């Protein structure tokens, strides 16, 4: 455990919930040049740091949101170039997740009443001497230009209070007061595992206009997560108000989906040229409504007046996908933007309303897609650490959200008592397994194995004497499109059928993980559990004619992909699934549980054409219906916006929810033809399956071993496939009309008729 010199400190006054803190020191003499200077930074709240007037890093919202009861992260910053003989460290605090509003109840301060700051600077000199300074009772605190801040409600900044003198040596002010050391033993401080949040992109408005109601509206052309930076000159004391929303409704800002979140920033002008950037909040938005801007809509036409700043955890983009169909390309891009906007320190369900929680079910659905689109390995390892902590402090119960702030809030009556729930709690198993398959790093299985087995064993304790998981609350096939807008749990799929299938999958995957780690006893134990679930499922849920209880798309899709069926029942299930999909007019009929698996189930049972027709459907409900409606992210509901342009009547409606975008995983593997035969792509499968009238597709992935790619195109009835295999890997080429071929690293090209390929 690290021994810290610094202490966690708090301002003696509230200072509008956004205090500044400063400490000044002089370098020790007689030790030569400074060789290195490292700043360790954390907070109870969120913190930004300056050293001698310059930002210590570009990180945002440090230290993020973790399970604060047991873990508060710190960042480690190299500030060697910022150190001087006399050095001032300045810290700016905000409420963040620690003390701000969380969830839909309107409450705040669930983790603590008081903001705290922690900074320790370790300076090493040429002769090896180390000087250590940090936050303690000698520091001072004062007011900032921020007069209010909340992640849900926004930030208010008064430019008349801007003053950088507090960052200069010798600063003194009567407005400033003492600080005190908090009673915190610092044992919960841990380093980040995942990446920090940072600015990613900047977008300029594509349209500025006045609405029928006389409101000034601005469109940035893309639903995004971040804030608006404003550059403005106007009368001192005047206030510019910027309200954010994802959509328009009846030609005005569509704010109803925000529920109680104000999502509003307020900027008070100084009378000079002001620049505002509200870095203590973030919003999910495409549109803003601007009130009080000097000169109105006409003045806002100038580029640079308003700039949308896109933020996300700083993950490298590693996977790309394109086809000859612009609608499919936009669908894929919507999934990318949905992940970018919801992976802001915690993998949230949505980034805009009074929720923004780390729902485990959303990530269970999307983890394989996430692992392909961005290098999310360490980001998700970090989140899984919190999942395991929450679980270990609650009798192995994996909560609905991580970090689990819901334990402090009265649950909706329909949830019942918190308990293990299929798909949601299964994130303890499904997410680390997806990371293992994508990156081939045993650490994630080693780190999470206790959590994985703990979940499986608790789940086993929930099974009835008949061997089924047929009791307790379940979300089931959440947001089945045939359910009423106000009853998202009312799915066609029997919730206990879904639960039992998910239990089988989790037991099977934990058994496989145990085998990877060489724990043969655990592998046998969980393998036996899976076999018991298989037998119970067959006995109670599969009829003599092969019909599965509730006879709908989701139950057949899960049964096929999870591998619970015998060969005869599997053949029937595939045919019945295809029949149901056709009967629905190739419109979507699955919710959160079934959607990630339905196209794979069709493909794996010989119904590729049905999978393509389902994917390419543009009528509601479908993946492409939102695209035809102008969506630039994945929606929470298939019909979050109705064809007439009105917002779905359900209270729970988001226009940025990545879960239903999980189909991109199938697109990468089946349309693109690129998948892993071994964890980490030590062996690769190149197996494009053209269809749906597509003329070409291209998929590229930066695997742990290097770039792998597949491109295919059909020209004048001939199919050409080009594949790149990275060093250290080999690939199986599985192409139409040809026997499997094993190839090594390098470029490989094959071509032939669209029906039967031959070597080129």
| Residues annotated as part of the active site | 355, 636
Phi-psi region of 72 (alpha: psi -120 to 50; beta: other; left: phi over 0): beta
How far apart CA 299 and CA 261 sit, in angstroms, is 28
How far apart CA 114 and CA 16 sit, in angstroms, is 12
The burial of 291, by beta-carbon neighbours within 10 Å (0-12 exposed, 13-18 middle, 19 or more buried), is given as middle
**Is beta strand 140-142 parallel, antiparallel or unpaired with respect to 248-249?**
unpaired
DSSP state letters, 308-350: EEEEEE-PPB-EEEEES-HHHHHHHHHHHHHHHHHEESEE-S-
Instruction: Give bridge partners of residue 203 from the DSSP assignment.
Output: 308
Closest CA to 65 of 447, 529, 385: 385
Number of residues assigned to the chain? 760
DSSP state letters, 46-100: EEEEEETTEES-S-BSBT----TTT-EEEEEEE-GGG--SEEEEEEEEE-HHHHS
How far apart CA 308 and CA 287 sit, in angstroms, is 10
What letter would DSSP give residue 167? Answer: G
Closest CA to 374 of 149, 664, 156, 135: 664
Cα dihedral 357, 636, 377, 724, rounded to 10, equals: -170
Q: What are phi and psi of 467, to 5 degrees?
A: 90, 0
How far apart CA 704 and CA 707 sit, in angstroms, is 8
DSSP state letters, 521-542: HHHHHHHHHHHHHHHHHHHHHB
Token pair 């996300």: residue: 312
Closest CA to 203 of 655, 656, 632, 661: 632
Closest CA to 39 of 118, 117, 119: 119
Find the largest Cα–Cα distance for the chain: 88
How many angstroms separate the Cα of 569 from the Cα of each of 70, 493, 574, 616?
48, 18, 9, 28
Phi-psi region of 709 (alpha: psi -120 to 50; beta: other; left: phi over 0): beta
The token pair at 670 is 């089946």
Q: What are phi and psi of 177, to 5 degrees?
A: -135, 180
How many angstroms separate the Cα of 565 from the Cα of each of 216, 497, 555, 561, 610?
58, 13, 12, 9, 21
Is 711 within 8 Å of 696 (Cβ atoms)?
A: yes
Closest CA to 359 of 321, 379, 387: 387
**Is beta strand 283-291 parallel, antiparallel or unpaired with respect to 216-233?**
antiparallel
Is 282 within 8 Å of 154 (Cβ atoms)?
A: no
Give the count of alpha carbons within 13 A of 350, CB side only. Answer: 26
Closest CA to 692 of 598, 580, 599: 599
How far apart CA 447 and CA 595 sit, in angstroms, is 29
How far apart CA 385 and CA 70 sit, in angstroms, is 11
Is 439 within 8 Å of 377 (Cβ atoms)?
A: yes
How far apart CA 369 and CA 170 sit, in angstroms, is 53
């Amino acid at each position: 455990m690290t021994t810290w010199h610094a202490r966690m400190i708090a301002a003696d006054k509230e200072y509008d919930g956004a205090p500044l803190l400063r400490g000044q020191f002089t370098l020790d003499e007689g030790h030569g040049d400074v060789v290195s200077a490292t700043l360790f930074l954390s907070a109870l709240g969120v913190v930004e740091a300056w050293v001698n007037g310059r930002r210590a890093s570009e990180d945002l919202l440090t230290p993020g949101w973790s399970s604060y009861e047991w873990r508060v992260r710190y960042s480690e910053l190299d500030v060697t170039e910022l150190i001087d003989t006399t050095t001032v460290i300045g810290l700016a605090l905000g409420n963040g997740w620690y003390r701000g509003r969380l969830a839909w109840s309107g409450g705040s301060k669930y983790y603590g009443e008081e903001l705290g700051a922690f900074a320790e600077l370790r300076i090493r000199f040429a002769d090896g001497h180390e000087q250590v300074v940090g936050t303690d009772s000698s520091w001072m605190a004062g007011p900032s230009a921020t007069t209010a801040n909340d992640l849900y409600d926004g930030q208010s900044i008064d430019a008349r209070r801007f003053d950088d003198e507090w960052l200069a040596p010798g600063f003194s002010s009567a407005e400033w007061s003492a600080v005190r050391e908090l009673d915190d033993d610092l044992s919960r401080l841990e380093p980040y595992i995942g990446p920090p949040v940072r600015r990613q992109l900047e977008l300029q408005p594509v349209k500025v206009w006045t609405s029928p109601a006389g409101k000034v509206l601005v469109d940035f052309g893309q639903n995004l997560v971040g804030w608006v930076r404003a550059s403005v000159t106007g009368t001192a004391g005047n206030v510019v108000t910027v309200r954010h929303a994802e959509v328009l409704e009846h030609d005005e800002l569509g704010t109803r989906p925000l529920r109680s979140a104000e999502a509003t920033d307020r900027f008070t002008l100084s009378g000079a040229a002001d620049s505002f950037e509200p870095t203590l909040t973030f919003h999910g938005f495409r549109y803003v409504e601007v009130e009080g801007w000097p000169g109105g809509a006409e003045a806002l036409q100038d580029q640079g007046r308003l700039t949308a700043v896109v933020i996300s955890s700083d993950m490298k983009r590693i996977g790309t996908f394109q086809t000859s169909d612009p609608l499919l390309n936009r669908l894929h891009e919507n999934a990318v933007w949905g992940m970018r906007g919801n992976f802001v320190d915690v993998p949230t369900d949505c980034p805009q309303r009074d929720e923004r929680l780390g729902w485990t079910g959303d990530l269970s659905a999307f983890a394989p897609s996430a692992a392909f689109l961005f290098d999310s390995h360490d980001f998700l390892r970090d989140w899984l650490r919190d999942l395991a902590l929450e679980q270990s402090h609650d009798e192995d119960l994996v909560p609905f959200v991580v970090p689990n702030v819901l334990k402090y809030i009265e649950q909706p009556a329909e949830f019942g008592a918190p308990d293990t729930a299929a798909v949601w709690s299964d994130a303890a198993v499904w997410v680390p397994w997806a990371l293992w398959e994508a990156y081939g790093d045993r650490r994630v299985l080693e780190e999470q194995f206790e959590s994985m087995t703990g979940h499986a064993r608790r789940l086993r304790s929930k099974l009835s004497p008949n061997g089924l998981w047929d009791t307790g609350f379940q979300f089931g096939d959440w947001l089945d499109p045939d359910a009423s807008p106000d009853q998202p749990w009312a799915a066609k799929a029997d919730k206990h059928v879904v639960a039992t299938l998910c239990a089988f999958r989790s037991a099977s995957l934990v058994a496989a993980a145990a085998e990877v780690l060489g724990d043969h006893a655990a592998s046998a134990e969980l393998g036996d559990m899976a076999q018991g679930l298989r037998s119970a499922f067959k006995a109670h849920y599969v009829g003599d004619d092969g019909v599965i209880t509730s006879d709908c798309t989701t139950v057949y899709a899960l049964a096929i992909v999870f591998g619970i069926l015998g060969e005869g029942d599997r053949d029937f299930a595939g045919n019945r699934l295809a029949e149901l999909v056709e009967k629905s007019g190739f419109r979507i009929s699955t919710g959160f549980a079934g959607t990630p698996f339905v196209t794979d189930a069709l493909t794996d049972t010989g119904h590729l054409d049905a999978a393509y027709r389902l994917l390419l459907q543009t009528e509601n409900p479908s993946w492409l219906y939102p695209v035809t409606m102008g969506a630039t992210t994945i929606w929470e509901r298939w019909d979050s916006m109705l064809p007439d342009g009105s917002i779905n009547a359900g209270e729970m409606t988001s226009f940025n929810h990545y879960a239903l975008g999980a189909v991109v995983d199938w697109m990468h593997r089946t349309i693109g033809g690129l998948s892993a035969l071994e964890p980490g792509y030590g062996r690769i499968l190149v197996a494009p399956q053209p269809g749906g009238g597509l003329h070409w597709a291209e998929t590229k992935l930066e695997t742990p071993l290097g770039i792998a790619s597949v491109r295919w195109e059909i020209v004048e009835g001939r199919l050409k496939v080009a594949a790149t295999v990275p060093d250290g890997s080999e690939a199986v080429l599985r192409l139409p009309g040809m026997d499997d071929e094993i190839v090594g690293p390098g470029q490989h090209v094959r071509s032939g008729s669209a029906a039967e390929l031959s070597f080129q």
